[in-house]
Amino acid sequence: MTAQPYGFVPGETPLPEKNLRAIRGALVIPEDREAFDAGLKTVLDEVRVSLELGALNAFVHRWWISACDSVRDPEGRRQMHNRAGQVLSGGPRPEGRPWREILAARGIDV
């Protein structure tokens, strides 16, 4: 059994493999690639000191989910980064549904 992101429909755009090269290649939004590169440097420094791979495994999994999202909905990723930039610059915060409500609608207990 392999892990698939929520809402995955077989036969649609293939998901990236779960390795660093494939994940980075699937990140089509510049902000994602920049954050990936910075985070990879940080996590590799951490692994070099601790000699524990747990942090690297978590990093790969987290970015694989983002890469899958990028492959499936690149325009949604662009919009997300645009909204985040507006909020961080003091702009209006768009109102949306609370995460708990969204997760509950998906049948995920929080």
Residue whose structure tokens are 């109102």: 95
Indicate if the pLDDT at residue 9 is higher than 50. Answer: yes
Which whole number is the average pLDDT over 20-43? 97
* Structural domain count, the chain: 1
CA-CA distance, 79 to 96, in Å (whole number)? 14
pLDDT tens digits along 46-97:
999 999 999 999 999 999 999 999 999 999 999 989 988 888 888 777 677 7
Q: Could you tell me how many residues make up the chain?
A: 110
User: Cα separation of 61 and 65, whole Å?
Assistant: 6
Enclosing domain of residue 52: 20-105
- pLDDT at res. 28: 94
- Tell whether the model's pLDDT for residue 6 goes beyond 70: no
Within-domain flag for 9:
no
Token reading at 5: 């992101």
Query: Does residue 7 surpass a pLDDT of 70?
Result: no
Domain annotation covers residue 98? yes
Residue 62 lies in a domain: yes
pLDDT in tens, 93-110: 767 777 778 777 777 776
DSSP string, 4-28: --TT--TTSSPPPPSSHHHHHHH--
